[in-house]
Each structure stands twice: as C-alpha cells, then as structure tokens.
Amino acid sequence: MNLLEPSKLALKSLFSNKLRSFLTTLGVIIGVSSVITLVSMGEGAKSYILNQVSGWGVGANSLTIHPGKSDSTMPELTLTYGDTIALRNKVDSIVYLVPEFIGKGQLKYGKKEYKPSFTMGVSSDYPLAINQKVAEGRFFSRADEAGRKRMAVIGKTVSRKLFGEASPVGERIKINRTGFFVTGVLEEKGAMMTFDMDDMVLIPATLAPLVLGTSKIWEIFLTLESEKDVPLAMKQVENTLLARHKKKDFHIHTQEGIIDIYNNILNALTGIVSAIAAISLLVGGIGIMNIMLVSVTERTREIGIRKAIGAKRNDIFLQFVIESVMITMSGALIGVVIGTGAAWGIMTYLKLQAVIAYGAAALACFGALLVGVFFGVYPAMRAARLDPVEALRFET
Amino acid sequence: MSGNNVVRIQDVKKIYRMGKMEVAALNGVSVDISRGEFVSIMGPSGCGKSTLMHILGCLDRPTEGKIFLDEVDVGGLDDNQLADIRNKKVGFVFQTFNLLPKLNAIENIELPLIYAGISLEERRRRALELLELVGLKDRANHRPSELSGGQSQRIAIARALINNPSIILADEPTGNLDSKSGAEIIHLFKELNEKGITLIMVTHDQDIGRNSKRIVRLKDGLIIEDEKVK
C-alpha cells in the first residue's frame, strides 16, 4: 500500500474533526511560531548591532582598554589619566587616544536646569577617534585640554533642553556649579540601543576630577595607524599598564572581540529561546499523543470494520501515524507563516530590519515532524494491534 | 474431499479463558459448505454461532481444528495473510451494518478495494456497478446517517461483494431492520445466491432461516442438526 491512500484517510478524519484538530495543532503552532519570531528578531538584533559597531567609526585598527580583569565582574575603576599619558609615550602606533571619565553632571543655564544621560570627560581626540562631527562651533583642542580650559561641547538634545532653537555656542552654563563656555554642538547621532547619544555633554578629561568628582576612567579608546599594529600595540599596552599597576587589573578588547561579546550574548539568548521552544514542542507532542490515544479508542469500531474488510496492521498503523504527522506538520507550516509575519511586523515596528531565520524555520519543521512521528507511533501501534473481533464488538 | 468445497472445517474448538474457568464456545465442529450454497447457522444465543462466524471469516483463530477456505488451510497464516483472505475471499454483512459514518455510500462500498491496492478509477467503476445491483444508484453520495436501515444494509452488502469473495458471511443481517426491509434483504440474498454466490447467514429467526437452502443448528458449541430446507 502506498502512502497516498492513508494520507487521504488521515486528511479526511482530521477535517471531519476540525476544532479538535485545530486545538491539537495549536501547541505546535505556538511553539514553532515563537521560535521563528524570536530567532528572527535575534538575528535582526545581531545584524543591527554589527552595523552599529561598525557605525561607531571604530575600525579594526582600534583597541579599547577596560578596568577589571574581565567583563564578567563589576570592576574596580583602576585606570587613571596618568595611564593615558604613559600609553601615549609607550605605544608606538597610537593615532588617537580617548579616555572616558563618566560622571553625573547637573547643568544650569540661567534658571533652567537639566541633567543629561551622559556627562563625560574626554580627550580632544574624541571627534576624530569615533568619527563624531561637530555641527556648530568647535571641539576643544589638545592645548585647551592641557590648559584645563572650561569648555563644554554639547549634544543636540542637551542644546534643545537648555537653549531651545537658539544657538548655544558662546553661552555660559554651569556644570555641577562650575562655570563653562559652550564652544560646540555635536552633530546628531540618534539613538543607539535605546541610549540617546545626543543627550551628552563633553568636557576636557583634565577637568573630570574637579568637575565630575572622579579621577577613574571607564574606558580608554585607542585608534592605531593600521590593523596590522593591533597585536604589537596590545602587547605594549599590556606591558605599560602592568609596569604601572603591578598587576593585571585591566583588559583589552579589539573590535572583533566586542562583536564577539554581543554575538555570544545573542547566541545564548537564542539558545534559551530555542530550548523553550523545544519544550513547547514536546508539550505539544504529548498533547497530540493524548488526543491520538483518545481518537484510537473512539474509533475502535472503525478500526474493527477496516480490519474485517481486509486492512492489515500496517495500513491501520500508517493511517494513524500519518494523521499525527499531519497535525504537527500543518501546525509547523502555520507556525512558520505566523512566526515570520510576527517577526517582520515587530521588527518593522521597531524600525529594524527583520532577518528571517530560515534555518530555524527548517529546524522547527523538522522537529515538528519528529514530534509527530514519535508521539504518533504509540497510539498508532495500539490501533494496529487491536483484535478485530473485540474491536467490532466495541460500543461507543 | 471434493474440490467444490468453499468452506471445510474439521473438529474446530474455540476455548476462552475467563480467569480460571475455561469456556468452550465451539466444542468440535465439522462442516463442509460447497460453492453456491445458502446456509443458515441457527441456535440460541451463546451457542457459539457468532464465534463460528468469526472463525469462518478469519477474524479469529480456533483453539484447535482445521479450516480450509477454497481448500487453503488458513490455520498456518499470519495476521497479514489473514487480512488478505478477509479482503479477497470473505465479505462480511453485519447486524449493525458497520458502515463508516464519515464516508458516503460509494466510498464505503469501495473501501475493501483500497486495501487491495486497486486504483481509484477501477474502484469507482466497480462500486457503481454494485450500487446499481443493490438498487441504490441515486444514493451514491449519501452518508450512512442519511440512509434508512434497509438502504444501509444494501450498501454493506455491496461492500461485501466488491472484491468478488468466495463467501458472504452475514451475521443477523435483518436483526436491526423492520420486517419489510428485512424481507427485501433476504430477497436480495436469494437473488445473489441464484447468481452462484455462496452465502452463510447467522440468525436465530426461524422464518429468516427458512429462506436458505440448508440449516445448521448449533447448541452448546456442537452441531445438533444439519438439514436441507424443503
């Protein structure tokens, strides 16, 4: 007997019980569509982050130095301005060096007060190092930085909050009660991973201890002459800082490393999501087995009749297994459609590009197939093994 | 041993175990049935007639004894081979019709041919022929729930006939029918028998039994009488 006839039989019986078939399928639909939605969103987020990281203007020729042994612990801030001077002297290939002191800044202009998301002390290399243009006025120079000139460069969001549409350049503001001149406005960058990168005030790194009350650095950013200088520069950074700190209380990232970290996080999330989906498929499968067992009991007489007129064990077995596989496969297909649609919808809503996870879709369908076979076999075997005489006697 | 025997059973016993008790439904039954006969198996309930019917139809195996269908010993066959015999050599007609409720008349009739691996076109052709034979051509697309008892039983008979079986086994075929429909079914059986089809019918109704050519009476798992109907 070929597969065509039992498939027709299975279809017929599924369609004659539409509501039950649909409810049985629901578990698989939810499982498969959620995998595809979440994995597609994860892939979309991944490609978005890759774009963002390269959009920082941070090339493969850059390094970042962070305090602490690794990313996993909340570090003690151990990097100082002195370290940056030493690095400038000892690392040959440095083109730009930007330390970032991050503090809290209370801004005041006249009677208006505002607290931006970021108040940072940075070096004069900042605009060049991360490819940040100045829309109006100018950034502080290296001489300004060394001379501890009270100059502030502000982002568009800060500018709007304090000055409305008027130009802020040349205005006097107070940052934590210290007077500053606004000398420039940064070109708008937009949001990055929900952070408003225009809600920012930059002051010379040399003033950070005084104004922000911190002499510790969150991050030192280095731009090297070329990508080829990365290995040697890493060694020189390491030696210089080890000589100064006497222990390894810092760690160095390359751009590749940063991308790796994001990828690791996203892959872990995808893994968790997939595990949840696998569990939901499993639960769906148990539901299917349950319904199939009920269905076998309900159709005992039908099975008896079929056997009486010549159906072999295999015919009955196939009919029920195919029914179970059809439930899971139709669930998987509906799930793929819904999941893809949902991923596309959500990503469009978030103004991100959806990356449809075809691999995940294929895997989910394959998983559904396995579930259908696995959980269909036992009920189908029960059906196939029924004794025809007893089955015919069965009263529903 | 005549080659004309469609059914030959020798000393068949069927013993059921109920806990520690052994109950003999058939206690050594031997009977020969030739091609073209119309036999009624009669007896009170519990006499073993249904068991005999199941064994004749290869739905069940005897505990002891031999069964030949078309001179083939079916005792040594496995489940699949028995299914094949049921499919090709036996046609069942049941008291409760046993049509599949979700299939229409013509689909019910052609069902055995699906398991015989016959193509859809051929199935339809043969099913339509039989539908005409039982006089229900206009009911081809009706479901069993839309058919009367007599019509349902005709469909069941058409189903039993579709694979040109050697015997038709009918278990109380009129038991669920009013007397008029019952008479029509018996009339149809007589017509079929005149065309040379071998019929074995289980019944406890004397009037029905008298319509056949031969009556085999069972009691307590034994044949107590085997006579030709005058």
Which of B59, B115, B159 is opposite residue A388, by nearest beta carbon?
B59
Q: How many CB atoms lie within 10 A of CB A279?
A: 11
Q: Is the domain of A226 the same as that of A357? A: no
Q: How far is CA A88 from the centre of its chain?
A: 35
Q: Is the domain of A199 the same as that of A222? A: yes
Provide the domain limits for residue A41.
4-53+261-393
Q: Is the domain of A46 the same as that of A162? A: no
- Flag residues of chain B having pLDDT under 50: 1-2
Helix (H, G, I), strand (E, B) or coil at B19: coil
pLDDT above 80 (res A56): no
Closest residue in chain A to residue B115, using alpha carbons only: A311
Asked whether residue A64 is domain-assigned, the answer is no
Torsion of CA A251, A257, A263, A269, to 10 degrees: -10
Q: Is the domain of A38 the same as that of A107? A: no
Would the CB atoms of B102 and A311 count as touching at under 8 Å?
Answer: no
Q: Does residue A388 belong to the interface with chain B, where contact is any CB pair within 8 Å?
A: yes
What is the fold, at CATH topology level, of the domain defined by B38-59+79-228?
Rossmann fold (3.40.50)
Q: Is the domain of A122 the same as that of A232? A: yes
Last residue of a domain, one of A213, A248, A283: A248
- What residue type is B49 in one-letter code? K
Q: Which residues are CB-contacts of B88 (< 8 A; sequence separation ≥ 6)? A: A310, B116, B163, B165
Asked whether residue A69 is domain-assigned, the answer is no
Q: Is the domain of A240 the same as that of A280? A: no
Segment holding B208, helix H or strand E: helix B206-209
Asked whether residue A59 is domain-assigned, the answer is no
State residue A73's pLDDT score. Answer: 62
Chain B closest CA to A277's CA: distance in Å?
Answer: 36
Q: Is the domain of A142 the same as that of A13? A: no
pLDDT in tens, A93-110: 889 999 999 888 889 998
Q: How far is CA A347 from the centre of its chain?
A: 12
Would the CB atoms of A308 and B59 count as touching at under 8 Å?
Answer: yes
Asked whether residue A85 is domain-assigned, the answer is yes
B194-223: string of b/e by CB count within 10 Å (b at 16+)?
eeebbbbbbbbeeebbebbebbbbbeebeb
Q: Does residue A13 belong to the interface with chain B, where contact is any CB pair within 8 Å?
A: yes
Which of A149, A104, A94 has its CA nearest to residue A125? A94
Asked whether residue A103 is domain-assigned, the answer is yes
State residue B111's pLDDT score. Answer: 94
pTM of this prediction? 0.72
Q: Is the domain of A240 the same as that of A343? A: no
Closest residue in chain B to residue A304, using alpha carbons only: B98
Which of A223, A255, A238 has its CA nearest to residue A129? A223
Q: Is the domain of A87 the same as that of A232? A: yes
Domain boundaries, chain B: 38-59+79-228
Place of tokens 């510790």: A216
- Token pair listed for A216: 């510790």
Judging contacts by C-beta atoms under 8 Å, the chain B residues touching residue A315 are: 115
Chain A closest CA to B166's CA: distance in Å?
Answer: 14
Judging contacts by C-beta atoms under 8 Å, the chain A residues touching residue B92 are: 308-309
Mutate to test the interface with A, among B52, B89, B98 (most CBs of A within 10 A): B98
Q: Is the domain of A241 the same as that of A160? A: yes
Place of tokens 């369609």: A15
Backbone angles phi, psi at B156, to 5 degrees: -65, -35
| B189 or A348, higher pLDDT | B189
Q: Is the domain of A155 the same as that of A179? A: yes
Chain B closest CA to A289's CA: distance in Å?
Answer: 23
- Token pair listed for B221: 């798992």
Beta strands in B53-182 (DSSP E): 64-69, 72-73, 90-93, 167-171
Query: What is the rounded distance in angstroms from the CA atom of residue A165 to the CA atom of residue A163?
Result: 6
Segment holding B179, helix H or strand E: helix B179-194
If phi > 0 it is left, if psi is from -120 to 50 it is alpha, else beta; for residue A351 that is: left
Confidence band (pLDDT; 50, 70, 90) for A53?
A: low
Q: Does residue A306 belong to the interface with chain B, where contact is any CB pair within 8 Å?
A: yes
Asked whether residue A256 is domain-assigned, the answer is no
Q: Is the domain of A111 the same as that of A223? A: yes
Query: What is the rounded distance in angstroms from the CA atom of residue A329 to the CA atom of residue B75?
Result: 42
Closest residue in chain B to residue A394, using alpha carbons only: B98
Q: Does residue B114 belong to the interface with chain A, where contact is any CB pair within 8 Å?
A: yes
**H-only helix segments in chain A:** 4-15, 18-55, 81-90, 126-129, 142-146, 156-163, 208-212, 230-245, 255-298, 300-308, 313-349, 358-385, 388-393
State residue B94's pLDDT score. Answer: 94
pLDDT in tens, A176-220: 989 999 999 998 877 666 677 889 999 999 998 888 887 788 889
State residue B29's pLDDT score. Answer: 94
Structural domains in chain A (count): 2
The answer to whether B95 and B175 have CB atoms below 8 angstroms apart is: yes
Mutate to test the interface with B, among A309, A315, A389, A394 (most CBs of B within 10 A): A309
Chain B closest CA to A7's CA: distance in Å?
Answer: 12
Q: Does residue B84 belong to the interface with chain A, where contact is any CB pair within 8 Å?
A: yes
pLDDT in tens, A291-333: 999 999 999 999 999 999 999 999 999 999 999 999 999 999 9
Judging contacts by C-beta atoms under 8 Å, the chain B residues touching residue A308 are: 57, 59, 86, 92, 98
Would the CB atoms of A310 and B54 count as touching at under 8 Å?
Answer: no
State residue B36's pLDDT score. Answer: 93
- What residue type is A378 in one-letter code? Y
State residue B30's pLDDT score. Answer: 95
Q: How many CB atoms lie within 10 A of CB A136?
A: 17
State residue A310's pLDDT score. Answer: 93
